[in-house]
Amino acid sequence: MQTFLTSYRDIFATNLSELGFTNRYKHRTETFRDSRPVKMGFYNQFPHMHKETEKHLVEIKKNNIIKESTSKYHSPVILVKKKTAPGQPQQYIFCVDFRKLNLQAKNSSFPIPRLENVFDTIGEVQPQYLSCLDLHHGFWQVEMDEETRHKSAFITRNGVYEFLRMPLGLKNAPLSFQQLMSNVLGGLNW
């Protein structure tokens, strides 16, 4: 397996600078016609958490995940603790609290495979091999639609930014990701 992975090293991202993205599908955030821009202030953070936020901002801006914005939409940033091994330094996942925006977003529709169906298919086919792939920052491999990405804007102490790639927490993001995967895999069953 190691030989295989080494020979195809160029297609595996191990950090954000190697992360690719596709324009085969772009995520749109459609809101109801009478919706007003979400305008929230930034959440107060302890100094060490502010430094952590800044560290994430520098990295995701450098890797073209976000850009500075003049959007009228402002959702606040939250950092979520990552599960870490004992003795390891605490790590955080950079998230935006899109709950108010999500209340204004229209529902999308695309079928998400049910786990029961996946297991039934595996049982019927009885494959010799099973593989499980984890796409490194999978959502960030989906481009945001240019017309609606301003709605993904978030506010920090240092300014307003918007996502160029699909963030965690947006309503319909899992459906967009599934639609992309179904498109890319072109009818391959689980």
Instruction: Tell me if 109 is assigned to some domain.
Output: yes
Q: What percent of the chain has pLDDT over 70?
A: 96
CA-CA distances (angstroms) from residue 9 to 3, 4, 13, 148? 10, 9, 8, 35
What is the predicted pLDDT for the residue at 187? 67
What is the predicted pLDDT for the residue at 157? 94
Residues 6+ apart with CB under 8 A from 95: 77, 78, 79, 80, 167, 168, 169
Residue given tokens 């600078």 in the structure block: 17
Query: Does residue 136 have a pLDDT over 70?
Result: no
The tens digit of pLDDT for each residue in 34-85 reads: 999 999 999 999 999 999 999 999 999 999 999 999 999 999 999 999 998 9
Instruction: Tell me if 7 is assigned to some domain.
Output: no
> Which carries the bigger pLDDT value, residue 128 or residue 84?
84
What is the predicted pLDDT for the residue at 72? 97
pTM here is: 0.85
What is the predicted pLDDT for the residue at 149? 97
Q: Which helix (H) or strand (E) holds 176?
A: helix 173-185
Instruction: Tell me if 190 is assigned to some domain.
Output: no
Tokens (6 digits) for 116: 């029961």
Provide the residue range defining the domain that includes 163: 23-185
- Mean pLDDT value across residues 103-107: 95
Instruction: Tell me if 6 is assigned to some domain.
Output: no
- Mean pLDDT value across residues 102-112: 89
Instruction: Tell me if 13 is assigned to some domain.
Output: no
CA-CA distances (angstroms) from residue 5 to 1, 8, 10, 138? 6, 5, 9, 19
The total number of structural domains that make up the chain: 1
Q: What percent of the chain has pLDDT over 90?
A: 58
Distance, in Å, from the CA atom of 189 to the CA atom of 2, rounded to the nearest integer, reads 26
Contact between 177 and 108 (Cβ < 8 Å) = no
The tens digit of pLDDT for each residue in 141-174 reads: 889 999 999 999 999 999 999 999 999 999 999 8
Contact between 46 and 164 (Cβ < 8 Å) = no
CA-CA distances (angstroms) from residue 95 to 2, 76, 154? 33, 9, 10
Q: How confident is the model at residue 31 (pLDDT cuts 50, 70, 90)?
A: very high
CATH code at 145?
3.10.10.10
Instruction: Tell me if 4 is assigned to some domain.
Output: no
Instruction: Tell me if 174 is assigned to some domain.
Output: yes
Instruction: Tell me if 67 is assigned to some domain.
Output: yes
